[in-house]
């Protein structure tokens, strides 16, 4: 099992890369009043044929040609189900895929979010050519980041994305903004 | 509050450093396996420590960091491949974040392969 939700997220984001997506959207929405956390990953990759969608939740259905999703989906399905949640996978061939999962936020078995910022930055660095949109909402306050905006400041120089100074700046920038939308409760971002 | 506009200044500064050197070619490419297996074994923390070491040692212009998927040896993850500018490849296995410093001390800084962690070597 993955110890952190943010590890699941990184793993599921990598699926979009393997599907040759050049645009990936990650939406994380937490509503403590409704006691729910929702995570959505949308890509414009090659999509999954209808007959294969259900098989992807079978952990033993992982031949090389279908390694498009690998073990990631069965793992998150198991986690979501055990936390009063579920997973929805929608896909259209050559158009893209939408993966949506939710859980009871306060559920005792819900894995902690963990180091989400490292997840986001790892994905950005490892997939410099992907247009990545990240939106994170906590009780209706939202933070948005997209790589297009970053690259505008960097004059489109992709190689700057793994420059350590840029990395550290982005880390602090995301942390500062998430802390803001969490109303100063820094620890809760990672819990 | 930080603003994304600050990135421009960071970039200019980094560029100035690069121009100050004669040889701008990267000396090493470091590839981290980030498949499901790698991530579950701690590859994300390994990658973070690699970035950390690069910054500490000011090697930002000498090293390219990138990622790959599952190599088929899931039990040996996290796996990290280091390629020098002559094309020699060293693959390290079970390279958790705590072992990264030693790879930088020996392999990156002194060109000595850390045999304790080696999975495979391909020399040109």
Q: For residues B59-77, give the mean pLDDT.
A: 86
Question: Model ipTM?
Answer: 0.71
**pLDDT value for B31:** 94
The Cα–Cα gap between A101 and A151 comes to 30
Say if residue B83's pLDDT is above 90.
yes
- Residue in A14, A122, A150 closest to B7 by CB: A150
Residue-level pLDDT at A59? 76
A179 contacts: CB under 8 Å, gap ≥ 6: A185, A186, A189
Under-50 pLDDT residues of chain A: 64, 66-69
Interval B24-53 mean pLDDT: 89
DSSP β-bridge partners for residue A89? A99
Task: Indicate the DSSP class of residue B106.
Answer: I
Q: What pTM was computed for the model?
A: 0.84
Q: Which CATH superfamily is domain B23-122 in?
A: Glutaredoxin (3.40.30.10)
At B84-105, the pLDDT tens digits run 999 999 999 999 999 999 999 9
Domain span holding position A168:
5-190
Domain residue limits, chain B: 23-122
Residue A97 tokens read as: 């895929």
Runs of H (alpha helix) within A42-100 = 50-53, 72-81
Domain count, chain A: 1
Q: What is the CATH number of the domain that holds A158?
A: 3.30.565
Best of B6, B28, B44 to substitute, by most chain A Cβ atoms within 10 angstroms, is B44
Q: How near does any CA of chain A get to the CA of B79, in Å?
A: 15
């Amino acid at each position: 099992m993955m110890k952190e939700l943010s590890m699941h997220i990184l793993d599921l984001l990598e699926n979009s890369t393997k599907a040759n997506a050049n645009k990936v959207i990650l939406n994380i929405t937490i509503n403590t009043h409704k006691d729910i956390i929702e995570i959505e990953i949308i890509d414009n990759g090659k999509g999954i044929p209808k007959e294969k969608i259900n098989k992807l939740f079978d952990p033993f259905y992982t031949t090389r040609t279908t390694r498009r999703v690998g073990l990631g989906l069965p793992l998150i399905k198991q986690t979501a189900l055990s936390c009063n949640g579920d997973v929805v996978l929608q896909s259209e061939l050559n158009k893209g895929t939408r993966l949506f999962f939710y859980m009871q936020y306060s559920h005792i078995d819900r894995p902690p979010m963990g180091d989400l910022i490292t997840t986001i930055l790892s994905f950005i660095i490892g997939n410099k050519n992907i247009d990545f949109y990240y939106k994170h909402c906590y009780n209706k306050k939202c933070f948005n980041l997209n790589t297009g905006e970053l690259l505008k400041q960097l004059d489109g120089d992709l190689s700057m994305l793994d420059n350590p100074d840029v990395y550290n700046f982005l880390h602090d920038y995301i942390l500062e903004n998430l802390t803001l939308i969490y109303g100063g409760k820094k620890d809760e971002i990672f819990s | 509050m930080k603003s994304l506009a600050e990135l421009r200044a960071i970039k200019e500064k980094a560029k100035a450093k690069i121009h100050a050197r004669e040889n701008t070619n990267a000396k090493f490419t470091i590839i981290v396996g980030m498949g499901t297996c790698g991530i579950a074994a701690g590859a994300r923390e390994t990658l973070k420590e690699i970035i950390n070491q690069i910054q500490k040692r000011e090697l930002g212009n000498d090293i390219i960091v990138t990622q790959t998927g599952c190599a088929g040896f899931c039990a040996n993850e996290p796996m990290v491949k280091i390629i020098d500018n002559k094309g020699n490849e060293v693959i390290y296995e079970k390279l958790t974040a705590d072992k990264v410093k030693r790879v930088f001390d020996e392999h990156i800084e002194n060109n000595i392969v850390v045999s304790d962690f080696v999975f495979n070597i391909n020399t040109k």
